[in-house]
Amino acid sequence: MKAFEYVGASSADQAVKALSSGAVVMSGGTDLINRMKDYVTSPARVVNLSDAKDLAGISGDAASGVTILAGTRLADVLASDIIKKAFPALWQTTSEVGTPQIRNMASVGGNLMQHPRCWYYRSGFGLVPKSADGKHMLREGDNRYAAIFMTDGDALYAHPSSLAIPLIALGARATLVGPDGERTIALADLYKVPTSNEDSPFAAKAGEILKSISIPAAAGKNGSYEARHKQAHDWPLVLASVNLTMSGDTVSDATVVVYGVAPVPWRSKAAEEAIKGKAVTIESAKAAGAAAAQGAKPLSMNGYKVALLKTVVARALCVTVGNRYWEA
């Protein structure tokens, strides 16, 4: 890695003050350090947030909502009974991230702000990788892990944060702090689609850091289902989280968010519409899964993700009513 200046921040304020042009923040470091070693990211200054006491912790409860400070370790999310009981979609997804070692280091904010795993990006070709003769490398090359939605655009990678999926489904909001103070936005709005290699995949302004995530009061049912290759340490291939408002046994409102299918966390309105007004059964869940696949335009190698998308949406819905039909 290239030499860099190091600042250890003991508070969010200190961190914001230490941020200058060319600086990046580091929380658990499980993504940033690898990018630095591979010369994918070569910051002039690294501001370490891991000792900032005001950036770690979980507060609130199921009835009033929960705030998770950005520096909270994934292991601490898993240790929270409130999250386990009220937000199983988040708890389950968190439990499937990385390894115990990674979950002990990695933070919620770091997971949400990690950079894409796209192997062209990690090889140094950027988020919109183009060859010297102008070919889009991900479109023409090995795109087995890439997006199947928004593929008419130039950003074809799959968004990397699995925690963003249940959090967006649960209606989470993100609070950012910067030189001009704090602002709170929908977590979904933290992400954008870059159009060039110079562009950022985040909507955070220069000098802003992610401070906290707030999840509104739990209402109804939520759940997640992840399809992956390995049982041990692996990334999801496709993952769905759902949050349902119930009226008796009938779904009156639904949010369905999917990982692995677009360069941003993918909200499937079609799946939401399909399940609304219905009880969650294997049949209605599969119909919602099929609806989720409407409009998918896979690339040359990732058509299999359409099948996975249908399955994970159906299974995430079934999970909310305790129907694990695939384990029968």
322 lies in the binding site for another protein (CB under 8 A): no
Closest-CA residue to 160 (of 72, 66, 235, 73): 235
Which one of 5-13, 119-127, 239-247, 262-270 is the stretch in contact with another protein (CB under 8 A)?
A: 119-127
234 lies in the binding site for another protein (CB under 8 A): yes
Residue 239: DSSP 8-state: E
- Using CB under 8 A, pick the residue from 45, 117, 183, 192 that binds another protein: 117
Which one of 115-123, 151-159, 202-210, 268-276 is the stretch in contact with another protein (CB under 8 A)?
A: 115-123
Tokens of 267: 């909200």
User: What gap in Å lies between CA 43 and CA 24, rounded to an integer?
Assistant: 6
Is 328 exposed, middle or buried, given 0-12, 13-18 or 19+ CB atoms closer than 10 A? Answer: exposed
Kindly determine how many residues on this chain lie close enough to bind another protein according to the rule CB under 8 A.
Answer: 37
Inter-CA distances, 172 with 47, 112, 189, 221, 316, Å: 26, 12, 11, 15, 18
- Using CB under 8 A, pick the residue from 53, 205, 233, 297 that binds another protein: 233
Binding mask 291-320 for another protein (x = CB under 8 A): ----------xxxx--xx--xx--x-----
- Using CB under 8 A, pick the residue from 87, 120, 149, 266 that binds another protein: 120
C-beta separation of 90 from 166 below 8 A: yes
Name which of residues 127 to 156 contact another protein (CB under 8 A). Answer: 131-132, 135, 137, 140-142, 144
64 lies in the binding site for another protein (CB under 8 A): no
145 CB neighbour count, 10 Å cutoff: 18
C-beta separation of 288 from 317 below 8 A: yes
Which parts of this chain interact with another protein (CB under 8 A)? 39, 99, 117, 119-120, 123, 125, 131-132, 135, 137, 140-142, 144, 227-234, 237, 301-304, 307-308, 311-312, 315, 325-328
